[in-house]
Amino acid sequence: MVAGCATNNADSLSQHDPDEPFNRVMFDANQSLDNHFALPVAKLYNRAMPELARDGIHNVLYNLDLP
């Protein structure tokens, strides 16, 4: 019953994702953005903000997420 959705024919193994080139470009762009912008901003935020302020910001955002 668990293997009911499993296929073993050759056609299913050779399916091509038509969006693969776009997905690879977007993945590379996201990785670059993460490495060159988001990571430095996060490191600066951790160095510049005292822990008490970070905890306060975290608590406010957590409380806004609850409703």
Q: Are 17 and 23 in contact (CB under 8 A)?
A: yes
| Mean of all residue pLDDT scores within the chain | 88
Amino acid at 4: G
Q: Does 59 reside within a domain? A: yes
3 within domain boundaries: no
Residue 2 domain-assigned (yes or no): no
Question: What pLDDT score does 63 carry?
Answer: 96
Domain that residue 31 falls in: 17-65
Q: State whether residue 50 is helix, strand or coil.
A: coil
Q: Running DSSP on this structure, what letter comes out for residue 48?
A: H
Task: Quick: pLDDT tens for 14-66.
Answer: 678 999 999 999 999 999 999 999 999 999 999 999 999 999 999 999 999 99
Q: Which three-class secondary structure state does DSSP give residue 66? A: coil
Q: How many domains does the chain have?
A: 1
Confidence of residue 67 (pLDDT cuts 50, 70, 90): confident
The answer to whether residue 5 sits within a structural domain is: no
Residue 4 lies in a domain: no
